[in-house]
Amino acid sequence: MKIAIISDIHSNLPALEAVLASIDREGCEQIYCLGDVVGYGAHPNEVIELLISQQIPTVLGNHDAAVLGRVDLNNLNAFARLAIMWTEQVLSADHKRWLSHLPILRTIPEALIVHSSPLEPENWDYIFTLSEAKRAFPHFNEKFCFIGHTHFPQFFSDSVSGKKIVNVGSVGQPRDRDPRACYIIFYPLSREFQWVRVDYDVERAIASIVSSGLPPFLGDRLRRGT
Ligand code: ZN
């Protein structure tokens, strides 16, 4: 069994299209999405339409929750806040309704999936370090917990239980200085996983951000992968 896990698309349609083509080439049987479908990029409706048409089970991210008015915008940086307000205006009522029905977590074969952390997931805490991961290990029973949120592909292993927390990286706004889109292929039967990096048309994503009136910084950072 071969599963693809994607996260943090952030309204980047060219990146999502390239990742879905890669997943198709890899022959994955199922795709899951860890949220932050919208925010930052210029194609929120198109991205949601694609997830709906491919019937990709998705969990809620903090930017998705922010568009729904469930997150205090003061907790976001200025660029994120502007992008949320822009997204809230252009998103169709149907797509807002789709976001509003996303669960906060899901179990999949051998794993839990959640956007930020299995520990109080709606606090949207970040897991960047082993000590942060250690606090989260007792809060899931599966062998794996796949997360997104930091846009940083990394994994943590619990030496006692053998459980793993794996950050799948970001499709639409990588921040590890590699501008290529990132996702994970997970083999639940052998309990193995691998990150996949995918080139995509970054300039097309940037041009859409600029022409839609979003801050140009949100395009520039895609070129840098930061
Ligand atoms: Zn994100």
**Per-residue pLDDT at 175:** 97
Ligand 1 centroid to Cα of residue 60, in Å, is 11
Per-residue pLDDT for 220 more than 90? yes
Ligand 1 centroid to Cα of residue 72, in Å, is 16
Among the listed residues 209, 211, 225, 223, the one whose alpha carbon sits nearest the alpha carbon of residue 39: 209
Q: Which helix (H) or strand (E) holds 166?
A: strand 164-167
pLDDT range class, residue 31, cuts 50, 70, 90: very high
pLDDT range class, residue 15, cuts 50, 70, 90: very high
**Per-residue pLDDT at 75:** 87
What is the mean predicted confidence (pLDDT) over 12-32?
A: 98
What is the mean predicted confidence (pLDDT) over 177-183?
A: 98
Ligand 1 centroid to Cα of residue 169, in Å, is 9
Ligand 1 centroid to Cα of residue 149, in Å, is 5
Ligand 1 centroid to Cα of residue 105, in Å, is 16
Ligand 1 centroid to Cα of residue 63, in Å, is 7
Ligand 1 centroid to Cα of residue 188, in Å, is 25
Q: Where are the alpha helices (DSSP H) in 68-129?
A: 78-90, 93-100
Task: Report pLDDT digits (tens) over 53-110.
Answer: 999 999 999 999 999 999 999 989 999 999 999 999 999 999 999 999 999 999 999 9
CB 144 within 8 A of CB 112: yes
Ligand 1 centroid to Cα of residue 172, in Å, is 9
d(CA 54, CA 16): 12
Ligand 1 centroid to Cα of residue 162, in Å, is 27
Ligand 1 centroid to Cα of residue 8, in Å, is 5
Return the higher-pLDDT residue of 115 and 74. 115
CB 181 within 8 A of CB 41: no
- The number of residues making up the chain comes to 226
What is the mean predicted confidence (pLDDT) over 105-131?
A: 97
Ligand 1 centroid to Cα of residue 2, in Å, is 24
Ligand 1 centroid to Cα of residue 28, in Å, is 24
Task: Report pLDDT digits (tens) over 133-151.
Answer: 999 999 999 999 999 999 9
Is residue 217 classed exposed, middle or buried when 0-12, 13-18 and 19+ CB atoms within 10 A define those classes? exposed
Ligand 1 centroid to Cα of residue 116, in Å, is 9
d(CA 43, CA 87): 9
Determine what percent of the chain is predicted with pLDDT higher than 70: 100
pLDDT range class, residue 188, cuts 50, 70, 90: very high
What value does the mean pLDDT of the chain take? 97
CA distances from 83 to 26, 78, 135, 199 (A): 33, 9, 32, 24
- Which residue in the block uniquely carries the two structure tokens 């943090």? 8
Ligand 1 centroid to Cα of residue 211, in Å, is 22
The answer for 129, left when phi > 0, alpha when psi is -120 to 50, beta otherwise, is beta
CB 42 within 8 A of CB 212: yes
The alpha carbon of residue 13 and the mean position of all alpha carbons in its chain are separated, in whole angstroms, by 13
Ligand 1 centroid to Cα of residue 226, in Å, is 12
